[in-house]
Amino acid sequence: MDQNTPDPQDNTPGGHQEPETLSLKPSLLQRLRNYFLTGLVVTAPIAITIYLAWLFINSIDNIITPLIPERYNPQTYLPFGLPGFGVIVVVVTITLLGALTANFLGRYLLGVGERIVNRMPIIRSVYGTLKQIFETVVSQSSTSFQEVVLVEYPRAGLWALGFVTTQTRGEIRRVLDQELLSVFLPTTPNPTSGFLLFVPKKDVIVLDMTVEEGVKKVISAGIVSPSDPALQEAVADASKRRKK
């Protein structure tokens, strides 16, 4: 063999070098980064939920507690505060008012109060609207809030997620002369604002997801996507066939 010909087994700089195998094992820094992101996913929702709950309870306490006479306030006799005491007072008060309204005297007093409010030009409009909204939402007989739908908005070919509130009735139903659904179209990421659409029932696609799942999808801007029941059923059927 010629001395100038490099030996294939030679690993010297002048010889042929075997390609180095790239290590697929993540580095320590990558593992720490993955651990941190995993911990963030676990702790962030819990921490934010606790913070919002504490903020809500604290705000109610700050409003209600000063209204309670000192001799009836347990915090007067205790060396520490009672978080949530204001919330308990509000819940008990609302429950007692509901029980009072259920009897004849309560209904009479409520009727007198509503007649007084109806004589106030601006306040009667606000009160009437809020009362109708709460009666619709709280009513256990109403099931329209359980439907999540897809509607074409803002133009044909683009789809938006909406919530059916009720079937459209009254003047709108008469003027348009077709079966319509009143659909609330929320904005992202704040679902408390949005648009009211009157959509023909034939143009609405009803989804299987619950209202809670739909709200999560809206708030997350589509990042959180609920599982598809039809796909899960297909996977379960395929798994049963494989076992047979």
User: pLDDT for 154-184, tens place per residue?
Assistant: 988 999 999 998 889 999 999 999 999 999 9
pLDDT of 40 strictly over 80: yes
Summary count for the chain: helices (H), strands (E): 7, 5
The per-residue pLDDT for 21 is 47
Model confidence at 101, in pLDDT bands (50, 70, 90)? confident
Q: Tokens standing for 116? A: 């007084």
Q: Which of 235, 213, 207, 212 is nearest to 226 (CA)?
A: 213
pLDDT of 150 strictly over 50: yes
Q: What is the mean pLDDT of the chain?
A: 81
Task: Classify the phi-psi angles of 81: left when phi > 0, otherwise alpha if psi is within -120 to 50, otherwise beta.
Answer: beta
Q: 73-77, 99-103, 207-211 — which one is most confidently predicted on average? A: 207-211
Range name among 42-56, 117-131, 172-186 with the lowest pLDDT average: 117-131
Best CATH choice for the domain 144-228 from the list 1.20.58, 1.10.3470, 2.30.30, 3.90.550: 2.30.30
* DSSP symbol at 27: P
Taken as a whole, the chain contains a residue count of: 244
**Domain boundaries, given as residue ranges, for the chain:** 144-228
Give the burial class of 188: count Cβ atoms within 10 A of its Cβ; 0-12 exposed, 13-18 middle, 19 or more buried.
middle
> In sequence order, what E strands does 38-140 have?
none
